[in-house]
Structure 1
Amino acid sequence: MAAELHVELVAADRQVWSGEARLVVARTASGDIGVMPGHQPLLSVLESGPVTIRTSDGGTVVAAVHGGFISFADNKLSLLAEIAELADEIDVQRAERAFERARSEADDSAERRADVRLRAATATR
């Protein structure tokens, strides 16, 4: 079994993160999944949620992901997201305002997006 896997996190508009990792945890249509080197081939729908990447050098990368696909084969993991942003790119105060606005307007999808952004942003702080 290989000691690491190559990860590509790509949004519709840019490459968000690329590198070597020991573990990636993401939310799929079937529930949360952890992918480690040597995992069985995989293709699934990504649900909105934080994605946690445990890098080969012992670091952690967290991203807010909103929809897309996850694919794994030959120790290469691709996360193809509709929207994705790294936790350190998220303005927490802005996300909190968006969450409150969405909640007061009863906009469930906007509330879900803001909640994912907040969970990702606070996961590493």
Structure 2
Amino acid sequence: MADKLHFSLVSPARELFSGEVDHVIAPGTEGEFGVLANHAPFMTTLKNGIVRVLEGDSVTMRIFVRGGFADVTPDGLTILAEEARDLDGIKTEEITSELEATLLKMQALDKDDTSRATLQAHYDYLESLRAALAH
């Protein structure tokens, strides 16, 4: 039996996954990267994108992350995401509704309101998430 990689993905809200897998592909800020068991240690930042978990050649899980860090150690791979959502079960209509609600909140704000930047970042994240669902 081939070695397995211990993989954990956590966000501030909760741990989305922890277990043994064959391969993980993640969206690094310097390019997409893959991690297998016994990978050399490194740490990198993540950009918005899809983390794919593979068993053999099959993708078994797709998790959309909004930024964060990936840390590969002799013990495995840990991803600390700013925000993460399992793409299984998310409907495009839900994201579209959330986009519309966020846009309405932004439009209701005074142009100098400091919360506008936070809402804009969330809106951009939702647009990236909706695009990921289309693929």
Normalising by structure 2, what TM-score?
0.73
| Structure 2 counterparts to residues 18-97 of structure 1, below 5 A | 18-55=18-55, 58=58, 60-97=60-97
Contact 1:9 1:16 in 2 (8 A): yes
Contact 1:20 1:56 in 2 (8 A): no
Contact 1:50 1:119 in 2 (8 A): no
Structure 1 segments unaligned to the other structure (5+ residues): none
- 1:70 is paired with a residue of what secondary structure? strand
Residues matched between the structures, number:
122
- Structure with more contact order per residue of length (Cα contacts < 8 Å, sep ≥ 6): 1
In 1, Cα distance between equivalents of 2:75 and 2:68: 20
Q: Percent identity?
A: 28
Structure 2 segments unaligned to the other structure (5+ residues): 107-118
Cα distance per residue 1:55-96 (max 9 Å; x no partner): 369551001101111001114110101111101242321213
- 2:22 is paired with a residue of what secondary structure? strand
Normalising by structure 1, what TM-score?
0.78
Residue 112 of structure 1: which of 109, 114, 124 is its match?
124
Amino acid at match of 1:109: A
Deviation at residue 108 of structure 1 after TM alignment: 6.0
Q: Larger Rg: 1 or 2?
A: 2
